[in-house]
């Protein structure tokens, strides 16, 4: 028996088997159950979302031998004939190849005859927007007043090209693009039924690559199964699609957050080694920035995926300003559009990332030096010769000063301690250079005591999920390097909330600065005058304290 592709084998045969399009199914189901059926239906939407499938199920519902119903039996001669594509009273017309008026005239002439086998003669016209203008004119009269035994089902991916005279004679249903979650759910159902092993990450990659089309997704699934030799692994799917893992994109954002140009180019090199579709990588970068912005601005938002990605994104949300995320997103989307104008795709991709780095705001009001280059003061202009100096004389020259000896390496400042003789936790974090997820864990902890070579850190219950390996081990190694000894970390729950963490102090300082800024604006004489004379009001969210 020849192999049947998954898109055809798993094509829905009943309304209940459809993925998505609930609004269309509900309307058609009610029409069939109440007998209030229109004579012409128009289904619009992108490729592979179910337009033709819904039309065929509707034709079965009209002609099922067990009666008109939204739930055709699927077993009678009519239902099996429709599924096999050989039901004589279902006439499928491809308007892309039958565009002329003669083709439409033949349909009109045959419409007057009664159905040969079923109750209704159903005309399914696919890509109806491809008909010529004379063909549309020939169809209009029959479309407006068809015989009672005729139903027209029109499908198109471009409804804007249809004449308004045709649109006004049809009930229009706009089919939506499917969400990645809907596509991935159907893929899992199919793979489980086919008994094919798969990785969840591979399903996610295919669902995103389907771009809202279930048919495209199932075609990619067929291709991925063949590529993987009967299995479905994430690395194989990424190699096939030319995509990269989310961790690669997170590495790019981590380098941007630190303003590290050398590491940013190293991440570009690592991504390029996969020979990816750089446009797709920029799409992934924009999608990740979208998740990052939701974490920053929508309370309680959680990232779908594994816990490691969630921790990294949470750390990035603390290190990036929301307005910077908006800027990076804009650069990613415009860079995606401009790839075709670049000398090559990789150059366009790298320039988009370098543009993000170039427009990265300076720290504390200072300009940010380019990656790998220190900012230097401009040399003072050479003194102009005095006008009193005779023209025949040259100014006296001075011997160049001897070169300064190389500076000795800067010694690490002594670590500050608190009243209990313990090292200051915030100073320890700074000297250990804890950034990213490690920094988030450290900032939300408080140093409670020291037991030999073990530091006891208190965490609130909401942050205990951060204290996992390998992060805890990495943090212990960094802190041990600063203290000059091997140490261990032990995390305890701060159930009473008495521990004061660096993150809590920073939040309190930010809130105090914000309150002071809002009070200063409210008390400003000019602002008060504007409020009195023009009814102006102050939007608190628009006020931002000046960083010192």
- Which structural domain range is residue 530 located in? 504-542
Does 11 share its domain with 66? yes
Q: What is the rounded distance in angstroms from the CA atom of residue 319 to the CA atom of residue 302?
A: 18
Does 491 share its domain with 536? no
Does 481 share its domain with 355? no
| Average pLDDT along the chain | 82
Residue 381 in this model has a pLDDT that exceeds 80: no
Residue 471 in this model has a pLDDT that exceeds 80: no
Residue 408 in this model has a pLDDT that exceeds 70: no
Residue 81 pLDDT class (50, 70, 90 cuts): very high
CB 202 within 8 A of CB 233: yes
pTM over 0.85: no
pLDDT digits (tens, 9 = 90+) for 32-66: 988 888 999 999 998 889 998 998 899 999 999 98
Q: Residues 291-298: what's their mean pLDDT? A: 90
> CATH number, domain at 129?
3.40.50.300
Q: What is the pLDDT of residue 313?
A: 86
Does 191 share its domain with 298? no
Nearest by Cα to 244 from 209, 281, 285: 281
- 232 beta partners: 198
Q: Residues 444-453: what's their mean pLDDT? A: 87
Question: Among 74-88, 259-273, 339-353, 500-514, where is mean pLDDT lowest?
Answer: 500-514
Residues in the chain: 548
Residue 376 lies in a domain: no
Pairing outcome for strands 445-451 and 454-459: antiparallel
Does 68 share its domain with 107? yes
CA-to-CA dists, residue 233 to 57, 206, 230, 281, angstroms: 35, 11, 10, 19
Residue 365 lies in a domain: no
Does 287 share its domain with 147? no
- Higher-pLDDT residue of 92 and 400 is 92
Across 404-439, b (16+ Cβ under 10 Å) vs e yields eeeeeeeeeeeeeeeeeeebebbbbbebbebbbbbb
Q: What is the pLDDT of residue 409?
A: 44
Q: Which distant-in-sequence residues (6+ apart) come within 8 Å of 156 by Cβ?
A: 42, 43, 44, 51, 127, 128, 129, 162
Residue 417 pLDDT class (50, 70, 90 cuts): low
Q: What is the pLDDT of residue 171?
A: 92
Work out the angle at residue 315's Cα, subtended by the Cα atoms of residues 545 and 429, and round it to the nearest 5 degrees: 80
Q: What is the pLDDT of residue 375?
A: 39
pLDDT digits (tens, 9 = 90+) for 246-294: 667 888 999 999 999 999 999 999 888 888 889 989 998 998 999 999 9
> CATH number, domain at 255?
1.20.272.10
The HSE-up count of residue 210 (CA atoms within 13 Å, CB side) is: 34
Work out the angle at residue 87's Cα, subtended by the Cα atoms of residues 86 and 93, and round it to the nearest 5 degrees: 80
pLDDT digits (tens, 9 = 90+) for 351-375: 999 999 988 765 433 444 443 334 3
């Amino acid at each position: 028996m020849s192999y049947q592709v998954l898109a055809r084998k798993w094509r829905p045969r009943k309304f209940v088997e459809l993925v998505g399009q609930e609004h269309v199914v509900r309307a058609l189901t009610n029409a069939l159950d109440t007998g209030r059926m229109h004579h012409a239906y128009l289904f619009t939407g992108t490729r592979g979302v179910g337009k033709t499938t819904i039309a065929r199920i509707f034709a079965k519902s009209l002609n099922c031998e067990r009666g008109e119903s939204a739930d055709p039996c699927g077993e009678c001669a009519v239902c099996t004939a429709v599924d096999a594509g050989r039901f004589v009273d279902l006439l499928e017309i491809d308007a892309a190849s039958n565009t002329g008026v003669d083709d439409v005239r033949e349909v009109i002439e045959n419409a007057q005859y009664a159905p040969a086998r079923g109750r209704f003669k159903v005309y399914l016209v696919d890509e109806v927007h491809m008909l010529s203008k004379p063909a549309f004119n020939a169809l209009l009269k029959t479309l407006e007043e068809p015989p009672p035994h005729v139903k027209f089902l029109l499908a198109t991916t471009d409804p804007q090209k249809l004449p308004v005279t045709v649109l006004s004679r049809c009930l229009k249903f706009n089919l939506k693009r499917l969400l990645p979650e809907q596509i991935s759910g159907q893929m899992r159902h199919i793979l489980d039924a086919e008994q094919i092993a798969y990785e969840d990450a591979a399903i996610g990659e295919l669902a995103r690559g389907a771009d809202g089309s279930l048919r495209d997704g199932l075609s990619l699934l067929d291709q991925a199964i063949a590529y993987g030799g009967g299995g479905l692994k994430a690395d194989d799917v990424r190699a096939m699609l030319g995509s990269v893992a989310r961790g690669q994109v997170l590495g790019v954002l981590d380098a941007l957050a630190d303003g590290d140009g050398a590491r940013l180019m190293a991440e570009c090199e690592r991504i390029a080694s996969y020979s990816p579709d750089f446009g797709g990588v920029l799409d992934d970068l924009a999608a990740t920035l979208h998740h990052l912005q939701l974490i920053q601005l929508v309370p309680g938002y959680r990232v779908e995926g594994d816990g490691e990605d969630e921790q990294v994104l949470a750390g990035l949300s603390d290190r990036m300003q929301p307005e910077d995320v908006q800027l990076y997103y804009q650069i990613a989307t415009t860079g995606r559009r401009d790839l075709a104008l670049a000398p090559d795709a990789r150059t366009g991709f790298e320039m988009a990332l370098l543009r993000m780095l170039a427009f990265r705001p300076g720290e504390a009001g200072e300009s940010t030096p380019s990656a790998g280059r220190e900012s230097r003061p401009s040399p003072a202009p050479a003194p102009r010769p005095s006008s009193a100096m005779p023209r025949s004389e040259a100014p006296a020259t001075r011997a160049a000063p001897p070169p300064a000896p190389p500076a000795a390496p800067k010694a690490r400042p002594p670590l500050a301690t608190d009243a209990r003789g313990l090292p200051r936790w915030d100073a320890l974090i700074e000297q250990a250079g804890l950034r990213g997820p490690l920094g988030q864990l450290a900032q939300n902890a408080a140093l409670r005591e020291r037991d030999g070579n073990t530091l006891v850190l208190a965490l609130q219950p909401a942050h205990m999920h951060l204290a996992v390996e390998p992060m805890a081990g990495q943090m212990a190694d960094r802190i041990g390097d600063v203290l000059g000894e091997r140490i261990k970390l032990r995390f305890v729950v701060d159930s009473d909330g008495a521990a004061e963490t660096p993150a809590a102090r920073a939040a309190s300082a930010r809130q105090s600065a914000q309150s002071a800024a809002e009070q200063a604006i409210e008390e400003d004489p000019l602002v008060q005058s504007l409020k009195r004379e023009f009814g102006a009001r102050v939007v608190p969210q628009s006020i931002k304290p000046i960083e010192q």
